Structure formats: C-alpha cells, structure tokens
Amino acid sequence: MARKPLVALVGRPNVGKSTLFNRMVGQRLAVTDEIPGTTRDRLQAEAEWIGMEYRVVDTGGIEVYQPRGSRDTAPLAEGSADFVPLIKAQALQAVEDADVIIMLVDAVHGITAADEEIAKILRRNEGKPIFVAANKADNPGRKEDAVEFYSLGLGEVFPISAIHGLGVGDLLDAIVGSLRDLIEDDGADEDDLLRIAIVGRPNVGKSSLLNLLTGEERVIVSPIAGTTRDAIDTDLIWHGQQVKLIDTAGIRKRGKIEPGVEKFSVLRTMRAIERADVVLLLIDAEDGITEQDQHIAGYVMEAFKSIILVVNKWDIIEKDEHTIDRWKETLLAKFDFLPDPPMLFISALSGQRVHQVLETAHRVWQARFQRISTAELNRMLRDAVQKHPPPTSGTKRLKLMYLSQVAVNPPVFLFHVNDTRLVHFTYRRYLENQLRAAYVFEGTPVRMSFRPRDGMLDEK
C-alpha cells in the first residue's frame, strides 16, 4: 500500500497505552502517568518489527461508562475533565482510520464495565483485525487470569507487560502477520489508483472545484468558511483512469484553530494529505499568497507528496498581458522550497481552465511512479561527477561508486559512497539538481540516501 499501515492503541484510561506505544516505537514519546487523562490528542509515530514498517497511534482513554463506585471513576489529570468528549472523539477517529486495532485492558483489575462498552464499539468495526493486550500480566497467575478477556468477543488475547516487555514480541508478531495480509490484499491495484487531495485555507473554493471535477453536487458549497468538516472521498473514472478525490476542511493558522470540531477537522486534513499521491494546493487569487499557504505546502513536502499550485478565482481579478507572468514569478519566489511545481490559474466558479487540473495531476502522478534503469542513472552520475567533482574534506574526497533507484511513490535513489560523512549538503543538492535536469519529476519530491559501500571505507 502507498501509505504505511496504521495500528491504533485504544482502551479505557490508565491501562498502559502510552507505555506500550513507547515500547513499540522504541523511544519515550508519549507521556506516561498513573493519573487517567494524561494523553489527550492522538500521538502518532513510525515503528518497525521484523522488517515491517508501520505507524502506531496512541490515544486518550475512552470514557464511556462511569458508574458510581466503579474503578473507572479515578480522578482525571488536571485540566483533562473538560477534554473528555474530545479525547473520546480522537480515540474513536483513530479506530476508524486504523488498519489494526489493539485494545488494552488491565490484567490486575479484570473486565470492567468500561471495557465491555469499548468492546461493543470495536465489534462494529467488522473486518478489522483486533487484538486484546492484557497488560500488567507480569506473573503466572495474571497470565492465566487473562483468558477471561476472551469473553469480550473481540480477538486473540495476549498477556503482556508493557513496562517490562514481557509477551510484547508475540503480540507484535501477530500484528505484523495481519499487516502483511492487508498489504498483499491491497497491493495488486495500488499503482492503478490516482489519489488527489484538495487542500488550502478556508473558503478558497475547494468544494466548488470538487463539484466541478465530478460534475455533481457531491459536497456542500457555502461562502461560510469551515463548512467542510471531514475529508470526503469521491471516486470517478477519468479517461479510463481510476481517481479518488479527497476534499478537506480548510487549514487555518495554528493559533486560530479552535479546540474541538475544528481541530479534529485539521487532523483529518493532515491524514488526507498522507493518503494522497498528488495534492492540489488552492490559493485565493483575491487574497494573494499568504504565510499559511506556504505552511500548508510545507506539510505536503514533509509527507513527500507531489504538489500542484492552483490559483483559484482567476476570473475576478484585474489582469493585463503580464499578470500571469508576474504571478508565476511570485509563486516561484514564495514556494522556492517546492520541487518544480506545476502552476494552474483557474476559476472553479466559471470552469475556466478546470479541465487542466486532472490532466496535470495525472502527469505529475506518473512521474511519481517512473523507474529509471541503473545503467542510465550511473551514466548520469558519471557525467555529474565529471562536470563538478566532489569537494575534499582535509585529505579525503567523497567517492560515488554506484547509484540505483530503490523505490517509487515517491522516487528513492540510493548512492553508494566511500564515506557518508563526506556528503556535504551543497553537493547533495547539486546531485538532486542533476537528477531533475536529466529526468522529469515535476512537482514531486525525491528521496536520496547515501550508504557506505562494503569494503570501501578505508580507500584513500
């Protein structure tokens, strides 16, 4: 699958989700505390187990049932009581987005009313692998007692101790097995589906553009900023090509994002960017280019997605014969960190040049998946080194022995060198410019990796 699969950790407060999260990602990222409510937002990081890379998301405890006198009524962390509905919303969204779900329970306390209510919610997610991790099972008696959690009717139960690592390996083996099955099921048609996310500030015309591209009123169009709350997927066929369009909520400046539904919408927009291959960044021609437009473009680059700059409302600004050239110069200056981005000037209201949107997106998408032969790449590398030899560092000079492309979507290139410490960022940038001069990666970031070649480190 194009994106790395997602594993969600859910459960009632204070069962050890953050401790297990830290162990899975191999570093202390989540704050752990015995007071429930410490984790509020979803925390996401990359993890790896026996060669499988995936993402894991930690969530706040799901508060669904608090009978008087129950163990579930432990005091929340200071200030967290006000956030209980939001914590629950974040956790439930993680469940919806996840490919695999781990429900954590407490082997010391046994099944609680909250556990039963959460299990009821999870059973609605038919088809998703669910594993029950009975945490704090750090002695033989608790391991034996953990079998009671099979009565939740979810999936296999794994007695573990997140803090000591006991049983976690068996749990991860099962998770990775499920993820491999998902990738095998989804991988066959992955290259045939073009995913396009439409992003931008509020009220720049994202929903209007989506409706025009689909030819239907698929989403609500309103002049009121913030009408779109969720990322909405729309499937269509364009010239025989399967396309998935993802409309998103507008992203405002971080300081202006209101807690609650709006913050939730922004998180879904970031998730939409992750799911996309190509991102259309809509810019309002009336407002001009803003810092927030640049920030959003930065998010797209951090996710290594291809980008197209789409200036909307082009029909309502005053123009002369030089207007479009001035705009292009300004766009290149403001977005100088983008990799040769295509620029379109459209009107989603009148339909002006909208036909170019899918044409350009398809062209950029094809560039993401192009493969270049090793022989071609090494010819290009020899020419690049001859034109501009690597600089020396003291008595040592960087030697580039071999270049190959190891992945697509986005393109990834592996340089075998004598010593990675000699790769200066300026020469790295030179090599990327040479790659882009030789091959078209319009609007598409490329990843470059440098690896010391075996047996070459001691060469003079």
Give domain limits for the chain. Answer: 6-166, 189-368, 374-452
Nearest to 263 by CA among 255, 36, 300: 255
402-413, pLDDT tens digit by residue? 899 888 888 999
- The answer to whether residue 415 scores a pLDDT higher than 50 is yes
β-bridge pairing 241-247 and 193-200: parallel
Please compute the mean of the pLDDT values over residues 111-132 and round it to a whole number: 85
Q: pLDDT category, 49, cuts 50, 70, 90?
A: confident
- The answer to whether residue 223 scores a pLDDT higher than 50 is no
What is the CATH number assigned to the segment(s) 374-452?
3.30.300.20
* CA pair distance 460, 458, nearest whole angstrom: 6
**Helices marked H in 313-424:** 323-334, 355-368, 374-387
Q: Which residue has the higher pLDDT, 32 or 43?
A: 43
- The answer to whether residue 36 scores a pLDDT higher than 80 is no
Architecture of the domain defined by 189-368: 3-Layer(aba) Sandwich (3.40)
Decide whether 6-166 matches 189-368 in CATH topology. yes
Which residue is it, tokens 């609007």? 443
Mean pLDDT value across the chain: 79
Nearest to 2 by CA among 233, 267, 189, 241: 189
Architecture of the domain defined by 6-166: 3-Layer(aba) Sandwich (3.40)
Q: Say which residues have a Cβ less than 8 Å from residue 210's Cβ, sequence separation at least 6.
A: 198, 218, 219, 232, 234, 245, 247
Determine which of 60-64, 73-77, 164-168, 302-306 has the lowest per-residue pLDDT on average: 73-77
Side chain identity at residue 120, one-letter code: K
> Buried b vs exposed e over 274-305: b needs ≥16 C-beta within 10 Å?
bbbbbbbbbbbbeeebeebbeebbebbeebbb
E-strand ranges in 214-369 read 232-238, 241-247, 278-284, 306-312, 343-345
- Which pTM value belongs to this model? 0.57
Q: Counting Cβ atoms within 10 Å, is residue 406 exposed (0-12), middle (13-18) or buried (19+)?
A: exposed
**Helices marked H in 71-112:** 84-97
* pLDDT in the model for residue 135: 95
